[in-house]
Structure 1
Amino acid sequence: MQLAQWRRPRVILWATAGVVAFGFLITVEIVARRCAGVPGPITAQARELVFAPKPGPLYGGLALMMVVLTWRQRFIALGAAIGIDVVFVLVRWAVDANVPEGHFFGNGALWAMLGCAAFAITRRTGRERALLLKGVGLGLLLVTGRKTGDTWLLITSKTRPNVLDPYVATADHALGNPSWVAGRMLNSAGPVATHVLASVYAQLAVAAVVVALYQLRNVASERRFPRHHLVRTFLVIGLLGPAVYMIFPVVGPVFAYGPGASGTGGVQWAVANLWPHTPPPIGVPHAVPYDGITPRNCMPSLHTAWATAIFIHSRQGPRLLRYAGTFWLIATLSATLGFGYHYGVDLVAGVVFSLTVETAMRTYDRGWDRSGVKLVAYGTAVFTVLLLTYGFLPLEMARHPWAFGPLVILAAASMIYGYVRTTQRWEPKAAPTLRAEPQPEPV
């Protein structure tokens, strides 16, 4: 490539983003080894070239990568991935390898993506090479992002021994302790509702991939990516959100005020065994110690933020996709509260956080126009004020719910209103239909 081409702004931007991402991964790798004593995302990803991985993220990444391929190339890539997986499974069966539950296959998808990257470098040039490498990068970003998130959650549990759940639980009185209410409702709803909500909560990434595949369905034919799509917002939410976990470490109601959802917490670490039947009493909150295993991943609720982004991006799809996006948002909100994973104020912060990130991504595409910049600044301010209020005024929130409850809801509603107004202004207006002039009848 000529020197002039490297000086193009977009090339410089992509190169800078690549360097920053690689530096971030190395930093997380070092921190994971020093603070948590475990391999980081780079090592974990490299291991999956040989050892049995979780298949979902890898095949989800392969599906995203294939948006840049023709149908013939997709069948070849998928066939190669399945064939490689069959070989790995047979070898593990032959040597009687000890494979963790649910980790039967998936190596083939990773090898197929790396094979496409090698094919792009050696057999393609120009725009074709760039498009194929972007597709591979998109797929690997999904996989690596999942690994990085898992590592970061472990880092939060090792570096933040004290949690601020009493502060959030006290502030949640302003909203009527919705997690306790939802927990009792879910207990009485029966096993079918519990199973459905658990599946929705666990498979949030599947919904994101489905919406992203719809948005990227024309990449292969148009030979370019759309200006804005869900994957970008999804990844930025996952990149920025965990940083707040370090500032505001919270484990959630079922851990801090219940037995723990998976045994990692338990009543021995809980402030009291109250969830979901008895709301915590109002008192002066203080930080409490917790175990070194449970992630401090409640503030803000990233499941809520991601579900909100899925809902927003599904609005431009067909009716079935819009219904699915609405269902996924409602079910995710119900699951986060009903299983005791989050407090109500977490969800409010998650919605504001998601809309702020989504606005920032759209504003970047539009060249940082004034309306977008103002809304990003407003969303950042609202999110900051919410965190400060939860941290410094929780007792006042609990003692005056009639004032603080509506204010918290109004803060989220104002961000939603601003986002809707701003994006409607950005949408291209249809040209007016001109009425045809009547033609004179022939004589």
Structure 2
Amino acid sequence: MAGVAALGFHIALEIAARRYGLPGPLAGEAREVVFAPKSGFLLYAGMALMMVVLTWRQRFIALGAAIGIDVVFFVVRWAADVKVAHGHPFGNGALWVMLGCAVIAVTRRTGRERVLLLKGVGLGLLLVAGRKTGDTWLLITSKTRPEVLDQYMATADHALGDPSWLLGRIVTATGPIGFNFLDIVYGQLAVAAVVVALYQLRHVAVERRFPGHHLVRTFLVIGLLGPAIYMIFPVVGPVFAYGTGAEHWSAVSLWSHTPSSEYWAVADLWPGTPPPVKAPHHMPFDEITPRNCMPSLHTAWATAIFIHSRQGPRVLRYAGTFWLIATLTATLGFGYHYGVDLIAGVVFTLTIEAALRSLDRGWDRAGIRLVAYGATVFAALLVSYRFLPWEMAKHPWLSGPLLVLTLASVVYGYVRTTGEWEPRPAPARQPEPQPELI
């Protein structure tokens, strides 16, 4: 049923994208079977997730096959003088291996082994499909929402002291070294998630089953629900609405290589001059820049990585903390988000995480109460950003601490209800026979 729903969702997005004369997720995924993929790292990360169901011998075979296929593609492109302008010179091999494992599962496996291998392939392909559907969602937001609510967000952000402007000046002062470092962290968030997910799924090949709840589930639900909020609350971000930010953001190249936001911005204020406090209004914007700020999904995903890394070894916990801090710094310092976006993103994630954990372990009164409270707080944040920004800006001494305390209340409720913030020793596991899948 889940597979049918996912396929139907893909087809719907494909049709929507075709209405605007652009390829959708299905076309993009099919294209990467032969042409240079947009993200070779993501394809190899997807293959790594798939390989959790394989034995070590099979993993080495799969990795060698993927590298060999990529070498063949590289040689053919070099011989044919094919330029890789907007993609990676590798990654096709990883996709071919995943598709090959799906064929093997259908033609050569039966029963539980077929189901397990197909689940592994599906897990890897879901990571890739999530990226493609996300690109299409961003396109739809830019085409269907001609007006944005950035003035409301910037006004509400005065309650927090305009953190995007503050961190924007700090990141700018660090020069290209600091900018490029944060850009790598920001751009490879999915790879960081795969590292944590691989730790959580490390026993799948032995136990012959997946755990009930893991990071990939949270990642996918965040990516599915988040863009729906974009449609309700379209926001482009301070670097676009208050600056000339098109040249700062590589995602704009999905549809256009022409910086356009500078012609639609209120003024060139970011990050040097915070916008003046005045009554906000809807503002028209271009049909290129995605309306993908509310909530901040990068913050949501980084928060999910942080939560799921808590049960790992010390190095993984440190890495999860670092990735969260660096992502928050990048989202604000690059001007992609307002501070109020980040608060909404954390509440959004904790609510989803609580719901998924309750779904896996059984709904109880505490779980229901936490999910209801998180959803209520998230809705209240959206309403206050839209209808009370002027009051929030006029009384920052009250609204700013109130926003922080509201966030803290959700964090406290999550920690108290789940009781899984601190690491626990893993139970002893007995190895079991590992039947060959390939």
Q: Output the TM-score relative to the length of structure 1.
A: 0.91
> Which of 44, 52, 55 lines up with 1:67 in the alignment?
52
- 3-state SS in 2 of match to 1:294: coil
Which letter does structure 1 place at the counterpart of 2:343? V
- 3-state SS in 2 of match to 1:267: helix
Residue 428 of structure 1 and its aligned partner are, at CA, apart by 12
Residue 268 of structure 1 and its aligned partner are, at CA, apart by 1.4
2:275 matched to 1:291? no
8 A Cα contact 1:179 1:344, kept in partner: yes
Residue 95 to residue 427, structure 1, CA distance change in 2 (3 Å): closer
What does residue range 177-326 of structure 1 map to in structure 2 within 5 Å?
A: 177-260=162-245, 261-262=248-249, 264-326=259-321
8 A Cα contact 2:151 2:281, kept in partner: yes
Deviation per residue, 1:303-329 (Å, 9 max, x gap): 000000000000001101100000000
Residue 374 of structure 1 and its aligned partner are, at CA, apart by 1.2
Identity of matched residues, %: 74
Residue 429 of structure 1 and its aligned partner are, at CA, apart by 9.8
What does residue range 41-56 of structure 1 map to in structure 2 within 5 Å?
A: 41-53=25-37, 54-56=39-41
Deviation per residue, 1:230-283 (Å, 9 max, x gap): 000011001100100011110100110011124634421111111111111111
Cα separation, 1, equivalents of 2:32 and 2:424: 48
Cα separation, 1, equivalents of 2:373 and 2:138: 28
8 A Cα contact 2:261 2:289, kept in partner: no
User: What is the match of residue 4 of structure 1?
Assistant: none
Which letter does structure 2 place at the counterpart of 1:190? G
Residue 163 of structure 1 and its aligned partner are, at CA, apart by 0.8
What does residue range 23-34 of structure 1 map to in structure 2 within 5 Å?
A: 23-34=8-19
**Unaligned runs of at least 5 residues, structure 2:** 250-257, 426-438
Structure 1 residue ranges, 4+ long, deviating more than 6 angstroms after superposition: 425-430
User: What is the match of residue 400 of structure 1?
Assistant: 395
Cα separation, 1, equivalents of 2:242 and 2:365: 45
Which letter does structure 2 place at the counterpart of 1:55? G
What does residue range 121-132 of structure 1 map to in structure 2 within 5 Å?
A: 121-132=106-117
Residue 404 of structure 1 and its aligned partner are, at CA, apart by 1.0
- 3-state SS in 2 of match to 1:292: coil
Residue 203 of structure 1 and its aligned partner are, at CA, apart by 0.9
8 A Cα contact 1:255 1:266, kept in partner: yes
8 A Cα contact 1:215 1:229, kept in partner: yes
Cα separation, 2, equivalents of 1:195 and 1:38: 30
> Which of 87, 96, 108 lines up with 1:111 in the alignment?
96
Residue 38 to residue 102, structure 1, CA distance change in 2 (3 Å): closer
2:332 matched to 1:337? yes
Range moving further from structure 2, 237-246 or 123-132:
123-132
2:22 matched to 1:38? yes
Which letter does structure 2 place at the counterpart of 1:380? A
Cα separation, 1, equivalents of 2:140 and 2:85: 23
Range moving further from structure 2, 304-313 or 279-288:
279-288
Cα separation, 2, equivalents of 1:395 and 1:282: 8
Cα separation, 1, equivalents of 2:422 and 2:370: 16
User: What is the match of residue 354 of structure 2?
Assistant: 359
Residue 416 to residue 265, structure 1, CA distance change in 2 (3 Å): farther
Count of residues paired in the alignment:
414
User: What is the match of residue 77 of structure 2?
Assistant: 92
2:375 matched to 1:380? yes
Residue 50 of structure 1 and its aligned partner are, at CA, apart by 1.1
- Larger RCO (CA under 8 A, 6+ residues apart): 2
8 A Cα contact 1:264 1:293, kept in partner: no
Residue 288 to residue 31, structure 1, CA distance change in 2 (3 Å): same
Cα separation, 1, equivalents of 2:193 and 2:232: 27
Cα separation, 1, equivalents of 2:81 and 2:188: 30
Residue 291 of structure 1 and its aligned partner are, at CA, apart by 1.1
Cα separation, 2, equivalents of 1:265 and 1:398: 29
Residue 370 of structure 1 and its aligned partner are, at CA, apart by 1.9
Residue 98 of structure 1 and its aligned partner are, at CA, apart by 2.9
Residue 428 to residue 320, structure 1, CA distance change in 2 (3 Å): closer
2:422 matched to 1:415? no
Residue 41 of structure 1 and its aligned partner are, at CA, apart by 0.3
Q: Output the TM-score relative to the length of structure 2.
A: 0.92
Residue 426 of structure 1 and its aligned partner are, at CA, apart by 11
CA RMSD of aligned residues (A): 1.6
Cα separation, 1, equivalents of 2:174 and 2:374: 36
Deviation per residue, 1:3-29 (Å, 9 max, x gap): xxxxxxxxxxxxx21121111111111
Residue 427 of structure 1 and its aligned partner are, at CA, apart by 9.7
User: What is the match of residue 167 of structure 1?
Assistant: 152
Cα separation, 2, equivalents of 1:97 and 1:408: 53
Which letter does structure 1 place at the counterpart of 2:239? V
Cα separation, 2, equivalents of 1:225 and 1:156: 35
Which letter does structure 1 place at the counterpart of 2:288? I
8 A Cα contact 2:312 2:423, kept in partner: no
Range moving further from structure 2, 248-257 or 17-26:
17-26
Task: Look at both structures and tell me which one has the larger radius of gyration over its CA atoms.
Answer: 1
8 A Cα contact 1:259 1:273, kept in partner: yes
Deviation per residue, 1:100-134 (Å, 9 max, x gap): 24421211111100110111111111111111110
Deviation per residue, 1:406-443 (Å, 9 max, x gap): 1111111110000000011899999xxxxxxxxxxxxx
User: What is the match of residue 137 of structure 1?
Assistant: 122
8 A Cα contact 2:241 2:266, kept in partner: yes
